[in-house]
Structure 1
């Protein structure tokens, strides 16, 4: 159930709405319809309001107050409008456009053809769908950037945390069964023979291109990069520092039109063609062959992890030290392997633990460590061992057991109050026009209402 208190627990109201908007709008594909509101030169469509309500219902919300959903969208659009005027927020329109094209191609790779994808997402043309993705990503980027700018100095004292708890403790939800987990993850290493096989295949593809085949056609046939293969391997308007270092170093050392020798990166092996370079921005095509390990290579990785697990169990090394020295998971290796929960803490609702890990944990207790098992991380095959650091039974939130969680709630409430104050300060100088069908709404903010002609 969504209420005012629950919304303050989120990382800003707009975060929830933007994530819903992205999914809902791509599901519906309704882009041309009635205008619900205009904020500066930003527009909220009537379908935006309906889609937010539908998305919230899918997430279990019982609130169906259309006025509240519209006001949240207006708040978000005002942040976007102000962000675009903020000279300290970088204009990333080129990157966002390229990102939208990559997302479009990635979605396309999941369908037999473009017509099937457009029908599934209810778009008439690829151009229309790309524009929709770009619009969503633009709003998300600017909304988040402005939210962070407005709230960057937000902080709460211990007294404020206590005051927040005392004020809302009767409304705080019960915490479900939770678990704290740590992991050590490694990507299986390819044998030298396997690496040579991939490199030789890329060299043959390069020879075929130099003999007359087009780079684009070869990328569509052979590249395993879902984001660019359907587009002939092309990435446009790449900013320096955007790609992984081996890719960028190779690309920027080429002359326009030149093709690199095979290059190894964390994703696999590439050949790269520099298409255009202008200052710190460039276009490049590539063909990627992923470093997908064989069964034997996975077995070797499991054997290595199991031997490290034995060292931990025998007390010869700590889990923390092994994670730091051997884990390939950059998110957790510097934090004793602890897997972060949804709220940023190390506590994870037991029912939300991924199925593969949950299966391996069956029958284990606090302090136990799984044997090595195969999993997937960032679309790459990986091998892991997972330790149960703590088990927290379901309980009512208290300061003694959940101080960090309550502190985050109090901080989010303060951030939302800062955003609300910022929005109110902009109302007198921002053109805001709301459709007459919302005249009966009792908005929390003092929005100026000018009827939109139908």
Structure 2
């Protein structure tokens, strides 16, 4: 099979491998023995299973096809070889990942997966034919491998740096017709005001949850009450049920209550950033919980919404008149902790800087700043934050660039990142070549007759080292 030129997968997505590939428990083969049935390759002390390769290919091929790309199974095999080589040398070099890091990453992946099923745990479990607890346990070793391989790669490239001269030299090597086209980008800053919630409304919600608790203690079904009244989309349809909960998965106020309950006990109402809750502990297995909960969110009155909008109009007017600078207004008035300590600047989580490609902006932001000149400020717009709380905000357009081909003056940071990635890639290639020549590697060509981008087979004599 001819090797297809492509952008190399740095690592197989182990999360996807787990979901779509079958995992088999096989004893490690002895060094120098024949490659056993079902094993595609041996790299040091690690094996690559046929089921892993084909499960990964099935999952990833659909993603590639959606993006108009082609994936061949030999591409997956080579990326598996790279990952296993990294894992082998991570063990040699004592590169480890602690249990807490594995747990927190598994929790995040589970939350993302659950979101694909609308927060319905039963649908997820039915689709994969496993309980949430089983999914969690089977995901852990795969996540540990993924994190370990990533950490090993980081250890290889962490000391690689590029100088301004190297960035310029790298840019000069890019053919003119291949210089990246940079879409229009903006930098933005914001001021946020949250509407007040009346004390009477908060007390009403607390009293409502107290009534729910009393009715549950008198024999009403917690699950039925959650289905009827809970405002948590992640569990409402499932009777408020969450299974296999571990520390770090929910906000600390929620966990402080849940982990101190006894099985069957129902909590008093308590508050988190999402609203007010009551929780019933169903089962406790060491530091793992099954529980049900009901969430009620205090409602914001139209009066309070109007007051918040009027306050935002007043702030905008003060800035426009020159009574206060935008930066000072952020410090004086903004209630968003995520931006108020950074002069209101909105950071792009995808790039880690303050520039936003206009084509990727949320629709509400795009329309809010449409027609706003650099230095100008939008009208107040209603907004929901990451915790789905309503607020009003004004957005200042700090800078805007027109679409253009990348250049050293406007796009140095982007070109620096590209040059660094290129240099890191060369260092990674050097490391791979060295380690391939000094690591025991056996490939079973009976499964896939691949032509790889690297000489993983060598001549069969140099793979007898580490």
TM-score relative to the length of structure 1: 0.77
2:417 aligned with 1:408:
yes
Q: Deviations over 1:271-309 (max 9, x none)?
A: 24565485xx45363432235645544333322222222
2:131 maps to 1:134: no
Alignment counterpart, residue 332 of structure 1, candidates 330, 339, 364:
339
Q: Which has the larger radius of gyration?
A: 2
How many pairs does the alignment contain? 430
> Which ranges in structure 2 are unaligned for 5 or more consecutive residues?
25-37, 461-466
Determine if the alignment matches structure 1 residue 374 to structure 2 residue 382: yes
Partner of 1:212: 219
CA displacement at 1:388 relative to structure 2 = 1.2
Distance in 2 between residues matched to 1:271 and 1:305, nearest whole Å: 34
Residue in structure 1 matched with residue 439 of structure 2 by the alignment: 429
Match of 1:323 among 330, 346, 355: 330
User: 1:48 aligned to 2:61?
Assistant: no
Q: CA deviation digits over 1:170-204, x for unaligned, max 9?
A: 33312122222222334433222221222122211
* TM-score, with structure 2 as normaliser: 0.75
**1:19-38, Cα deviation, whole Å (9 max, x unpaired):** xx767986xx5658987656
Aligned residue for 1:225, secondary structure, equals coil
Question: Per the alignment, do residues 266 and 127 of structure 1 end up closer, same or farther by CA in structure 2, a change over 3 Å counting?
Answer: closer
Mapped partners of 2:175, 2:60: distance in 1: 29
Q: Could you give the per-residue CA deviations for residues 327-360 of structure 1, whole angstroms, max 9, x where no partner exists? A: 4444433322222343323222222221111122
In structure 1, list runs of 5 or more residues that go unmatched: 8-12
| Match runs of 1:15-414 below 5 Å | 18=13, 29=20, 31=22, 40-41=46-47, 43=49, 44-61=52-69, 64=71, 67-79=74-86, 86=94, 88-92=96-100, 94-95=103-104, 102=111, 105-109=114-118, 114=122, 123=128, 130=135, 134=139, 140-168=146-174, 170=176, 171-213=178-220, 215=222, 218-229=225-236, 230=238, 232-234=240-242, 236=244, 238-239=246-247, 243-251=250-258, 258-273=265-280, 276=284, 278=286, 281=287, 283=289, 285=291, 286-291=293-298, 293-341=300-348, 342-378=350-386, 380=388, 381-414=390-423
Contact 1:35 1:46 in 2 (8 A): no
Contact 2:41 2:441 survives alignment (8 Å): no
Task: Please give the per-residue CA displacement for 1:119-139, whole angstroms capped at 9, x wherever unaligned.
Answer: 8x6x45557994699377556
Closer, same or farther: CA 31–317 of 1 in aligned 2, 3 Å: farther
Q: CA RMSD in A?
A: 4.1
CA contact 1:327–1:333 (8 Å) conserved in 2: yes
Query: 1: distance between equivalents of 2:415 and 2:215?
Result: 61
Residue from 444, 448, 456 that aligns with 1:446: 456
Contact 1:187 1:383 in 2 (8 A): yes
- Taking a change above 3 Å as real, the CA distance of residues 37 and 246 of structure 1, as seen in their structure-2 partners, is same
**Aligned residues of 2:119 and 2:234 also touching (Cα < 8 A):** no
Equivalents in 2 of 1:246, 1:159: separation in Å? 51
Shift in alpha-carbon separation, 1:132–1:271, aligned structure 2, 3 A? closer
- In structure 2, relative to structure 1, the CA distance for the partners of 1:369 and 1:110 (3 Å cut) is same
